[in-house]
Amino acid sequence: MADEAGFVSWYSAVEPRLRAALSAAYGPQRGRDATAEALSWAWEHQDRLDGLRIPVAYLFRVGQSRTRFRRMPTLHRSEGWSEPWMEPGLGKGLASLSERQRVAVMLVYGYEWTLAEVADLLGVKVTTVQNHLERGLAKLRSALGGVSG
């Protein structure tokens, strides 16, 4: 990224995936804040990004650490939310998952990421992501009153 146009092009490719990952991990508000912090850091340290194989994974960690001091709720809770397509207990069910389970479930099922993409983001093996996904789904089914299996 030698110039502003190069950064803009890079930003266009990285920002949506980074925002999705951080929002899946921390909820919409903290996810947006963490994305902004990570991309601000990226602008200031462009020279460090050139050699990265998976910049989203690196910036995911930057976003985590730059917003860590803020203790915000994981999910936005709004009493009286009445969208007909949303399961009323989904927010509470997702909040009951561990961070990695929630990231796996939301990115794979909500954003259609592959298991390999989530593994790269989290810096773990694909089988570990599969385990988080299976356990998260079982816990979510139980929280929502479904049949586990």
The answer to whether 38 and 14 are in contact (CB under 8 A) is no
Q: pLDDT, tens digit, for every residue of 7-64?
A: 888 899 999 999 999 999 988 898 999 999 999 999 998 888 887 888 999 999 999 8
Mean pLDDT score of the chain: 84
The Cα–Cα gap between 76 and 86 comes to 14
Pick the closest to residue 61 from 120, 113, 4 (CA basis). 120
139 pLDDT band, cuts 50/70/90, is: very high
Torsion angle in degrees (nearest 10) through CA of 128, 120, 57, 110: -70
The CATH classification number of 87-149 equals 1.10.10.10
**pLDDT at 73 (0 to 100):** 45
C-alpha radius of gyration, the chain, whole number: 16
The pLDDT of 107-120, averaged and rounded, is 92
Location of each CATH 1.10.10.10 domain in the chain: 87-149
Query: CA-CA distances (angstroms) from residue 17 to 1, 2, 93, 129?
Result: 19, 22, 24, 17
Higher pLDDT, 146 or 108: 108
**Residue appearing with tokens 């989904």:** 90
Whether 135 has a pLDDT exceeding 90, the answer reads yes
113 pLDDT band, cuts 50/70/90, is: very high
The answer to whether the pTM exceeds 0.75 is no
Which tokens belong to 36? 């902004």
Sign (positive or negative) of CA dihedral 122, 124, 126, 132: negative
On the 0-12 / 13-18 / 19+ scale of CB atoms within 10 A, 45 is exposed
The pLDDT of 111-122, averaged and rounded, is 92
**pLDDT at 72 (0 to 100):** 45
**pLDDT at 104 (0 to 100):** 94
The Cα–Cα gap between 19 and 73 comes to 17
**pLDDT at 71 (0 to 100):** 47
